[in-house]
Amino acid sequence: MKGYENMEKKKALIVFGTRPEALKMCPLVCEMKKSDKLETIVCVTEQHREMLHQVLEIFDVKPDYNLHIMQPGQTLFDVTTRILTGMKEVIEEVKPDVILVHGDTSTAFTAGLAGFYLQVPVAHVEAGLRTEKIYSPFPEEFNRQGIGLVASYHFAPTEKARQNLENEGKIADRIWVTGNTGIDALRYTVRDDFRHEVLDWAGDSRLIVLTAHRRENLGDSMRQMFRAIRRVAESHPDVKIVYPVHLNPAVRAVANEVLAGCDAIRLIEPLAAVEFHNLMAKSYLIMTDSGGIQEEAPSLGKPVLVMRDTTERPEGVAAGTLRLVGTEEETIFKACCELLDDPEAYRKMSVAANPYGDGYSSARIVEILENELAKDPKMRLRP
């Protein structure tokens, strides 16, 4: 029957496992499920557990497969080997036309590698981010470059990301600038009438929202970051700091060691995205080593001090909202004091900008996938 192949729904296996991937893939899952040309199968690796399920609940996404790989204090070896073995079985059972992975986590890299081993086309969402420093962030820069090597479809959030991919020799007609699906998620979460007991506690004080978790910062760098933040709290009586602490035990140990016992600092459990996004929207400024927060904050018009030496998100720096402050105590302390004490410096960084998309990236990706998967299957694998 001529043309029959194109009339069948194409199977799209979408794989994610950590909080940030879930936040950026769930809007896409919701959009894919509306398509009459795609059959969407969701596989979670559960690289994260509680922090993943917090996100699934918001979007009411129910996974078809769960690899249940999370272990307390897991190493990169644990994560990678458990996912690779688990993904082989899922891919062999589902026989997808395409596997979608996101960003730069070990879940994304390993699911992409499994797709490559079984010669199933891989689509990379949030493709083309680069620091070009393989150890920074670690191991994410390697992961994203590795996925780029095997991917057939590259969904780049920005023009800069597209350029990075073209500079590496990726074929131009396999790259699409779609915006970042993380901005789509903000449409589901941010609301004007938000109330929260942290806001009541902060009262008229200026609220700083803090997050920190990067593997390369664990240990001394994180201790220095936290010391700087404690000094900020102790030197500014009108400032309150809230830190939803990542569930990584290595992060929790340093947070407790340096930040506990200060009345102006609250260490709380990770927040569901609705609460976290709205707290950011109501904050005075944000201090973080996170990736996703660097994309969300410009949309919210909040200054962000990025406690890292490199960023793969230069668009936010160019837009004026992000400033890289490294991981040394004195530099972080001075940069934060400047924002708190100099209204002009604060005003310059509080510009609302939207370098990462308009909130409709998922719809664009679905349309591209529908068109591409309707083409001859021989055209799908990376040329």
DSSP secondary structure, 326-369, as one string = -S-HHHHHHHHHHHHH-HHHHHHH-----TT--S-HHHHHHHHH
Residue 228 has φ and ψ, to the nearest 5°, of: -60, -40
Active-site hit among 48, 102, 130, 213: 213
Decide whether 47 or 178 has the Cβ nearer to ligand UD1: 47
Min separation Cβ 370 and ligand UD1, Å = 30
Residue 295 annotated to the active site: no
Q: Is the Cβ–Cβ distance between 379 and 120 less than 8 Å?
A: no
Active-site hit among 130, 246, 308, 364: 246
Exposed/middle/buried for residue 294 (C-beta within 10 Å: 0-12, 13-18, 19+): buried
Binding to ligand UDP, residues 265-324 (CB under 6 A)? 270-271, 273, 276-277, 290-293, 296
Binding to ligand UD1, residues 103-142 (CB under 6 A)? 104-106, 139-140
Binding segment for ligand UD1 (CB under 6 A), chosen from 49-57, 85-93, 121-129, 153-161, is: 49-57
Decide whether 40 or 211 has the Cβ nearer to ligand UD1: 211
CA-based torsion, 82, 52, 288, 107: positive or negative: positive
Residue 126 annotated to the active site: yes
Binding segment for ligand UD1 (CB under 6 A), chosen from 56-64, 151-159, 178-186, 246-254, is: 246-254
Nearest CA-CA partner of 157 in 116, 112, 125, 203: 125
Min separation Cβ 103 and ligand UD1, Å = 8
Binding segment for ligand UD1 (CB under 6 A), chosen from 128-136, 153-161, 245-253, 371-379, is: 245-253
Residue 231 annotated to the active site: no
CA distance 274 to 269: 14
Active-site hit among 49, 215, 231, 323: 215
Min separation Cβ 289 and ligand UDP, Å = 7
List, in sequence order, every beta strand (DSSP E) within the chain. 10-16, 38-44, 65-66, 98-102, 122-125, 153-156, 175-177, 206-211, 239-244, 265-268, 285-288, 304-306, 322-324
244 binds, among ligand UD1, ligand UDP, none (CB under 5 to 8 A by kind): ligand UDP
Min separation Cβ 322 and ligand UDP, Å = 13
Whose tokens are 């490294």? That residue is 326
Min separation Cβ 293 and ligand UDP, Å = 5
CB neighbour burial string for 83-104, b if at least 16 within 10 angstroms, e if fewer: bbebbeebbeebebbbbbbbbb
Min separation Cβ 152 and ligand UDP, Å = 24
Decide whether 103 or 148 has the Cβ nearer to ligand UDP: 103
Decide whether 283 or 290 has the Cβ nearer to ligand UDP: 290
Exposed/middle/buried for residue 4 (C-beta within 10 Å: 0-12, 13-18, 19+): exposed
Judged by CB under 6 A, the number of residues near ligand UDP is: 16
Decide whether 105 or 321 has the Cβ nearer to ligand UD1: 105
Q: Does 221 bind ligand UD1 (CB under 6 A)?
A: no
Residue 140 annotated to the active site: yes
Sheet holding 322-324, edge to edge: 265-268, 239-244, 206-211, 285-288, 304-306, 322-324
Q: Is the Cβ–Cβ distance between 229 and 287 less than 8 Å?
A: yes
CA distance 153 to 175: 6
Min separation Cβ 250 and ligand UD1, Å = 8
| Active centre residues (catalytic) | 104, 126, 140, 213, 215, 246
List of residues contacting ligand UD1 (CB under 6 A): 18-20, 47-52, 71-74, 79, 104-106, 139-140, 213, 215, 246-249, 291
